[in-house]
């Protein structure tokens, strides 16, 4: 997982503000296909938003950490059901 400085995080948040989610994680959770799709989008765009369905906040945090660990990405922001990821 990539660690960001507060300044880098603030800058990436400002860039991500206008983005729409490119991947939706549904009730099936984090499947291999979803991980692959997130990886493809990170390769193409570096900075993406992912929407997670479901109301369990702890499950969303666990999904966020697993994505970042598996794909060597940085956690930029987690607002409600939206996750913002960055991988240069």
| pLDDT per residue as tens digits for the range 7-36 | 999 999 999 999 999 999 998 999 999 999
How far, rounded to the nearest angstrom, does the alpha carbon of residue 61 sit from its chain's CA centroid? 10
45-75: pLDDT as tens digits: 999 999 999 899 999 999 999 999 999 999 9
Give the closest residue to 86 by CA, choosing from 58, 67, 61, 62: 67
* Res 5: pLDDT: 96
Residue 1: pLDDT above 90? no
What is the pLDDT, as a whole number, of residue 81?
A: 96
State whether residue 26 is helix, strand or coil: coil
pTM (2 decimals)?
0.94
């Amino acid at each position: 997982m990539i660690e960001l400085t507060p300044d880098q995080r603030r800058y990436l948040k400002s860039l991500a503000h206008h983005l729409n989610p490119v991947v939706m994680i549904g009730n099936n959770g984090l499947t291999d296909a979803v991980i692959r799709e997130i990886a493809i989008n990170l390769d193409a765009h570096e900075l993406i938003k992912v929407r997670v369905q479901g109301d369990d906040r702890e499950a969303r945090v666990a999904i966020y950490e697993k994505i970042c660990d598996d794909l060597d990405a940085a956690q930029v922001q987690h607002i409600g059901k939206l996750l913002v990821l960055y991988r240069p």
